[in-house]
Structure 1
Amino acid sequence: MATMFLAMVVEEQADGSYTRTIRERTVDDLPAGEVLIRVLWSSLNYKDALSASGNKGVTRKYPHTPGIDAAGIVEDSRNDRFRPGDQVLVTSYDLGMNTAGGFGQYIRVPADWVVSLPAGLELRESMVLGTAGLTAAMSITALRAGIGPEQGEILVTGASGGVGSMAVSILARLGYEVCAASGKDTAYLLGLGAKSVVARAEVDDAGDRPLLKTRWAGVIDTVGGNILATAIRSTAHKGIVTCCGNVASPDLQLTVFPFILRGVTLVGIDSQNLPMEERAMIWQRLAHDWKPAKLGSMGREVSLAGLEGEIARILQGGQKGRIVVNLGQR
């Protein structure tokens, strides 16, 4: 008899609405793949909330189980790199988008998606990091290519969210002076290592000046829209700005002047398709030198059933830090 497990299943209804239920499935329901993993931990990301709400730009076909992050134990493998009992993690690629994801107690995926859990990380810790930690670390890697701690302030936008809070913590550990932009949670961000916290309004200039007074040596932007445009217009000569999100807006209204008069570099961050060699290297950093000092406390734990309220919260911009999902709970 096939192994039974619990999963969140999102279904499209006849009236165009979507429902989310926790139900039993079997491993025979899972897609083809080389590695079967018993999922112990997952996490909630903005993309998961979109998939769980019926966003066809993220997930094309329903019924579907979201969850772009998963960590657990290999149950079966048809690839020599992995054996039953190995501790592993999977983030991004197509997991949780159009492939049944980490909001189920089992996943089956291609071996090329699977990362062996690095020494220095526990499975739960890897999901506190998850795609958010990977994205933050990729952004910091791009920033460090040209900006050192001695060169000035680094702005992190959307700092209370998953990527933002990870970026603040890692940058602080690496000796950077971080200014966190957020509409809330000043004490939380200072506790992560931010030197200062500013309101969103201070980094959201509605004027039409092509250049603003320089303030930032570099920027890690997680929200897009006019906040990103303001950050670029405020970045100093030869500064680096990374971009990984569009929760504010996918539109970017700018002139070329920040780029041709100040030499600002804008770097797009795509964690979904990061090659495995670079991915494994970044996970090693996150397990050691770049591991956030307060990693354990940055993840608030919920069960599968507890995700319901958190999905609404993250869509409304109310998430603080990271939500980790304990797949051992109902």
Structure 2
Amino acid sequence: MQKVFKALYISQEGGDFKKEIKELNTADLPGNDVLIKVSYSSLNYKDALSASGNKGVTRKFPHVPGIDAAGIVVKSNTSDFQEGDSVLVTGFDLGMNTWGGFGQYISVPAPWVVALPEGLSLKESMSFGTAGLTAGLSVEKIIGAGITQDLGAVIVSGATGGVGSMATAIMSKLGFEVVAISGKSEDDFLTSTLGAKQILNRNEFIEKYNNKPLSSSDFSAGIDNVGGPTLSGILKSVKQYGMVTCCGNVSSAELNTTIFPFILRGITLTGIDSAQAPIALRKKVWQSLASEWKPLHLNEMIREIGLEELPEKLDALLHGKAKGRYVLKHN
């Protein structure tokens, strides 16, 4: 049975892109394996790019963004999922060129779908969303490298952003001392809510740690979400056999460094791609997020919004004015 639903609809008129809340029909969706009624989605920088008409993210318009979605299966052509199952979808092509979670229904291939882990509500799963999964993949890499709490502090850049705030909260929950790099003065949010032990101003961090081929080795590991000179400074400040993960380029996609951190300290730089992460790894990380990694103040890290607020919040994300996570609740 076809259903009418509301969505944030992005259309192109010449060189301009228009955002509007529009009624669509499930018949407009692709004929994939699983039809899901979306309860919650979340806002990400990639969504803001898509909604602004960035052709590097979304090639064809009109389009419904939203790279994250959590909800209830209403129709399934596979035995892997049954009607009534609670599920979540993040990444792959959702919200890029496949209509996404900013609509009340999505239709996706079965391999994109993850059963909601026990211990996690639909809202909590979208409080994490792609940002939480990306942060979780970084944490998984660092722990897998044998880096433990007694080896010293972990440095996290972009700490008030989606991935950075999640990484800070998860590492703090696990007992790591977290030093947060931020260009914003959000002391209470970073310390009381996320659990950071120290805050470094971004420009001061770059001046201190990125002005020599190697700087003092003050951190056991780093989680970088911004790229550019901040990432370069983190590489130069990590201890012997430390690890640095990187997943973002809001500062710059360029990396100017030397080989000294790698050949004199033996550090590892590893990239994080949550969009195409293997399903087995996704399930493992989601299970950890649902249990021992779940931040103590997860609900305080997000702000719930409705569909009508989306355009304004997406603009805030695009211009670096967002703090923490926005979770979209569909009525």
Compute the TM-score of the two structures, normalised by the length of structure 1. 0.97
Shift of 1:10: 0.7
Corresponding letter in the other structure for 2:64? T
**2:200 and 2:233 mapped to 1: Cα distance?**
14
**2:201 and 2:146 mapped to 1: Cα distance?**
27
| Counterparts of residues 28-177 of structure 1 (less than 5 Å) | 28-144=27-143, 145-177=145-177
**2:249 and 2:87 mapped to 1: Cα distance?**
30
**2:60 and 2:183 mapped to 1: Cα distance?**
35
Q: Structure 2: 5+ residue runs without aligned partners? A: none
Corresponding letter in the other structure for 2:73? V
**2:213 and 2:31 mapped to 1: Cα distance?**
51
**1:209 and 1:122 mapped to 2: Cα distance?**
47
Shift of 1:210: 1.3
Q: Which residue in the other structure is 2:286 paired with? A: 283
**2:147 and 2:176 mapped to 1: Cα distance?**
10
State whether structure 2 residue 311 is matched by structure 1 residue 308.
yes
Corresponding letter in the other structure for 2:174? L
State whether structure 2 residue 28 is matched by structure 1 residue 13.
no
Shift of 1:234: 1.2
Three-state SS of the structure 2 residue aligned to 1:107 is strand
**2:65 and 2:51 mapped to 1: Cα distance?**
6
**1:160 and 1:58 mapped to 2: Cα distance?**
24
Shift of 1:32: 2.1
Is residue 223–residue 245 contact of structure 1 (8 Å, CA) maintained in 2? Answer: yes
Three-state SS of the structure 2 residue aligned to 1:171 is helix
Shift of 1:304: 1.1
Per-residue CA deviations over 1:152-171 (Å, capped at 9, x if unaligned) read 01000000011111111110
Q: Which residue in the other structure is 2:187 paired with? A: 186
Is residue 146–residue 240 contact of structure 1 (8 Å, CA) maintained in 2? Answer: no
1:317 to 314, 317, 320: 320
**2:161 and 2:17 mapped to 1: Cα distance?**
25
Compute the TM-score of the two structures, normalised by the length of structure 2. 0.97
Shift of 1:233: 1.1
Is residue 66–residue 103 contact of structure 1 (8 Å, CA) maintained in 2? Answer: yes
Shift of 1:208: 4.9
Shift of 1:217: 1.0
**2:204 and 2:292 mapped to 1: Cα distance?**
32
Shift of 1:146: 2.7
**1:2 and 1:150 mapped to 2: Cα distance?**
57
Q: Structure 1: 5+ residue runs without aligned partners? A: none
Q: Which residue in the other structure is 1:199 paired with? A: 201
Shift of 1:40: 0.7
Corresponding letter in the other structure for 1:216? F
**1:32 and 1:60 mapped to 2: Cα distance?**
20
**2:252 and 2:34 mapped to 1: Cα distance?**
37
Shift of 1:57: 0.5
Q: Which range moved further: 212-221 or 94-103?
A: 212-221
Is residue 205–residue 226 contact of structure 1 (8 Å, CA) maintained in 2? Answer: no
Three-state SS of the structure 2 residue aligned to 1:306 is helix
Is residue 210–residue 257 contact of structure 1 (8 Å, CA) maintained in 2? Answer: yes
Q: RMSD between aligned alpha carbons?
A: 1.1
Corresponding letter in the other structure for 2:264? L
Q: Which range moved further: 293-302 or 124-133?
A: 293-302
Corresponding letter in the other structure for 2:140? T
**1:146 and 1:263 mapped to 2: Cα distance?**
14
Q: Which runs of 4+ in 1 moved over 6 A?
A: none
Shift of 1:213: 1.6
Shift of 1:86: 0.7
Is residue 218–residue 240 contact of structure 1 (8 Å, CA) maintained in 2? Answer: yes
**1:63 and 1:81 mapped to 2: Cα distance?**
31
Corresponding letter in the other structure for 1:194? A
**1:12 and 1:322 mapped to 2: Cα distance?**
28
* Paired residue total: 327
**1:160 and 1:40 mapped to 2: Cα distance?**
26
Q: Which residue in the other structure is 2:329 paired with? A: 326
**1:55 and 1:313 mapped to 2: Cα distance?**
16
Q: Which residue in the other structure is 1:273 paired with? A: 276
Q: Percent identity?
A: 52
Q: Which residue in the other structure is 1:217 paired with? A: 220
**2:211 and 2:224 mapped to 1: Cα distance?**
20
Q: Which range moved further: 125-134 or 306-315?
A: 306-315
Three-state SS of the structure 1 residue aligned to 2:117 is coil
**1:72 and 1:270 mapped to 2: Cα distance?**
24
Q: Which range moved further: 197-206 or 53-62?
A: 197-206
